[in-house]
Amino acid sequence: MFRFHEVKAGVLRVPNLTIPAKAITCIIGESGSGKTTLLRLLNLLDSPEEGEIWFDGVSLNEVNPVEWRRKAVMVPQTPVMFKGTVEDNLQIGRFLAGQPSANREQLMESLYLFHLDKELSQAADNLSGGEKQRLALARAVLMNPEVLLLDEPTSALDEATSDTLMQRLTAHSRRNGIMLVMITHSRIIADTYADYIIEVKHGIPQINGGFIHE
């Protein structure tokens, strides 16, 4: 689990906050409230101006950022795409994490998980914005992270595709014990799929309710 103590970073002020382990946590709040800063702090892309954040009792100040990002994988709202095919983009995450290449079954399962009906040999440049977003999510999951940090993973999707993706993603996370922390603009998604909801108001995040799923 993550624990914040007297953290300040830009507009964000976090006196105390615990994000539970192996759970689905959604972050909601108005634009500019500090949601993305909160996620970037968890990925060590930003550092607190004051205070400290711990993960399972270890201060994030003490961990190697590169090693940490192999364990806590973040997918931004506008993900990075690499030159080459769909398969190239799936495999590169495991390569950068020092993991062996995924086999065909693992690759196809990752595409299915994110409702992406594409050939592995297809050029990634030819995908739509929503398809690229889902390909980046599949790449992250293939890295077998302990923590998955997602910024608006359904922002480019229609309602039906968004619902299918969330059903599969949350089921996969629970089945594999992945701690999923995601920003969403949709209160419906948060209420439907989250075990815990963090609402950020005026730069201060608070867990304001929980929906504990069996």
* Complete domains list, the chain, with CATH: 2-210 (3.40.50.300)
The pTM assigned to this predicted structure is 0.93
Q: What is the DSSP letter of 153?
A: T
**By percentage, how much of the chain surpasses pLDDT 90?**
87
pLDDT at 139 (0 to 100): 97
Tell me the per-residue pLDDT of 79-88, one tens digit each, with 9 for 90 and over: 889 999 999 9
Q: Is the pLDDT of residue 6 over 80?
A: yes
Q: Is the pLDDT of residue 196 over 70?
A: yes
How sure is the predictor about 213, in pLDDT bands with cuts at 50, 70 and 90? very low
Mean of all residue pLDDT scores within the chain: 93
Contact between 13 and 205 (Cβ < 8 Å):
no
Tell me the per-residue pLDDT of 130-169, one tens digit each, with 9 for 90 and over: 999 999 999 999 999 999 999 999 988 888 989 999 999 9
Helices 129-142, 104-113: inter-axial angle, 10-degree rounding: 130
Q: Which two tokens stand for residue 55?
A: 């993960």
pLDDT at 209 (0 to 100): 56
pLDDT at 212 (0 to 100): 44
With H, G, I as helix, E, B as strand and everything else as coil, classify residue 132.
helix
**By percentage, how much of the chain surpasses pLDDT 70?**
97
Tell me the per-residue pLDDT of 13-72, one tens digit each, with 9 for 90 and over: 999 999 999 999 999 999 889 999 999 999 999 999 999 999 999 999 999 999 999 999
pLDDT at 79 (0 to 100): 84
Of 56, 32, 81, 40, give the one whose Cα is nearest residue 185.
32
Amino acid at 119: E
Contact between 143 and 97 (Cβ < 8 Å):
yes
pLDDT at 158 (0 to 100): 86
How sure is the predictor about 11, in pLDDT bands with cuts at 50, 70 and 90? very high
Tell me the per-residue pLDDT of 107-121, one tens digit each, with 9 for 90 and over: 999 999 999 999 999
Cβ neighbour number for residue 202 with a 10 Å cutoff: 10
pLDDT at 206 (0 to 100): 87
pLDDT at 157 (0 to 100): 86
